[in-house]
Chain A
Amino acid sequence: MTIPGSHSTVLVIAKHAFVDEVRQKSMIVIFVLSAFFVLLLRGCYKGEYVVDGQSLGSAAIAWTVSKVAFHVIAAGAMFMAALLTMRVFKRDRDEGTLSCILSRPIHRRQYVAGKILALWVLSMTFMFVLHGIVFFITALSMKTLAPAYLVASLISSLNLLFVVLVVFLLSFLLPDIAAFLCAMGIGIGSLAASGIHSFSQSQMGQVMMQHSPGITGWKLFYYLWPGLFGTQQSAFSLVGYGGGMSPYPFVNVISYCLILCILLLHRFRNEEIA
């Protein structure tokens, strides 16, 4: 009997995991509902908006709507990725899939890689399709194409990899729901860290922080906390309306992903298979 190659085994495991997730009715319902709500955004492009007595131009409206939609969809996709990942290991164990796979000439790291790949690709597809709907709505409303919007979506999928890794690792150590809530907590913490960072960059923030003794603590919080929201913001800056693209959040999230990968493989290597 031949032993399948390492990559092909990972792809086979990923394919099976992907199909299992897509077949779930709850997954289909969530996707259809999300797509429906995103389609409702069409109405936002057509209204007239007045700020400080001045009517907003259609370009400003399109930018604001697409920016808000971008961040909401990216956050929703993270939520979705956490939901999908939190049950994967226990379901595989309960349904006998785990022992079926690992009784074959398959390394544990191949199993982990296959699962991560499937969940990442699935949540990325989910997010990309929803971003794609916004992209087309914007293109139809504004009669211009902004392909950078889709590129930004792909770059933001780095966050989804982070969420999958965190929840997968924590699901070995904590109850599923606790793993899910921890991932959500990290996301909220990241939003707070980015907010503080943005404030510290403003003129008022700089004046205030010069007199504040806790400045180092906040800076550390921003630099050490997983920069999920920073990644989204930096990715969206590609669209061209925001500031420059900062590489730091990417470095931060990629570093965390590498650390999580190592911890996950180490943890799973010692896991007792029932």
Chain B
Amino acid sequence: MIELHAVTKRYGSLTAVDGVTFSVARGEYFALLGPNGAGKTTVVRLLLDFTHATSGTLSIDGISSKDPVCRASVGYLSENPRIPPNLTGWQYLQRCSELLGMSRLEAVSHIGDIVERIGMRGREHTKARTYSRGMIQRFGLGAALIGNPKLLILDEPTAGLDPIGIREVRRILESFKGQGMTVLLNSHLLSEVEKICDTAAIINSGRLLLKDSIPSIIRDGETLEDVFVRLVKG
């Protein structure tokens, strides 16, 4: 589903991503882990063509990430989702559906389902300026789910959520398992990653340190956090 080959991104003298190569199979739940400034968000931005790679190639579903068509079945939740304050959550989701060419009728039932799924029933018609960070996060996830994407790219989806919210997001993501959806998850919450994901890659200073299935990464008596700290501290 996702292919990165020798991807490098430089900002002047700073190398944010350094020759990273990995692939994510269809239906896989993949976690991209790393400390702050490791280059995880840059990888996501490269995949979405928000920034251009200095060298290397990236593709989604066999289509170059430079071609907008590759994003036809991609849902994206940014690290810091925002909703225009004058819109309601419903209007925001409706706009997202219009951008995908959905008819109004089609959008109404689809958005209804999504609002239910993200647990925002009853709050969808209030202005976004009244929403808490957690609520915006949920509507952001809802926007990513518009159009039933085949690939979900989530950049810190649980940031700002309380423990119940975190559990809800996990429940939502788990509900897609076995339906062929691929998930690329950027997260610091290693315990959550361990519960949700099948595969993980650890990246530090722009370099890929490890990529394997989670059961293979974790040795006896270790947690994902132990492995992460061991690898990053080197």
Q: Does A206 contact B (CB under 8 A)?
A: no
Report A1-23 residues with CB < 8 Å from chain B CB: 1-5, 8-9, 12-13, 16, 20, 23
- Contacts A1-B100, A16-B95, A273-B50 given; does A104 touch B71 at CB 8 Å: yes
Q: Does B213 contact A (CB under 8 A)?
A: no
- Within the complex, the shortest CB–CB distance from A165 to chain B, in Å, comes to 23
Per DSSP, chain B at the interface is: loop
* Residue in A closest to B140 when the chains form the complex, CB atoms: A96
A20–B86 CB distance below 8 A? yes
Per DSSP, chain A at the interface is: loop
A270–B99 CB distance below 8 A? no
Interface size class for chain A? 20 to 34
Q: Does B228 contact A (CB under 8 A)?
A: no
Interface string of A92-115 (1 = CB under 8 A from B): 001111011111111100000000
Q: How many residues of B contact A (CB 8 A)?
A: 32
- Contacts A104-B71, A270-B52 given; does A9 touch B81 at CB 8 Å: no
B residues within 8 A CB of A12?
Answer: 98-99
- Within the complex, the shortest CB–CB distance from A95 to chain B, in Å, comes to 4
Q: Does A52 contact B (CB under 8 A)?
A: no
B residues within 8 A CB of A100?
Answer: 95-96, 99, 143
- Within the complex, the shortest CB–CB distance from B49 to chain A, in Å, comes to 8
Report B133-175 residues with CB < 8 Å from chain A CB: 143, 147-149
A105 partner, pick from B71, B80, B84, B85, beta carbons under 8 A: B71
Complexed CA–CA distance, A102 and B81 (Å): 14
Known contacts A16-B98, A104-B68; 13 further A-B pairs (Cβ under 8 A): A1-B100, A4-B99, A4-B100, A9-B99, A12-B99, A20-B84, A23-B86, A95-B84, A96-B81, A96-B82, A100-B95, A106-B71, A273-B45
A residues within 8 Å of B by Cβ? 1-5, 8-9, 12-13, 16, 20, 23, 94-97, 99-107, 270, 272-274
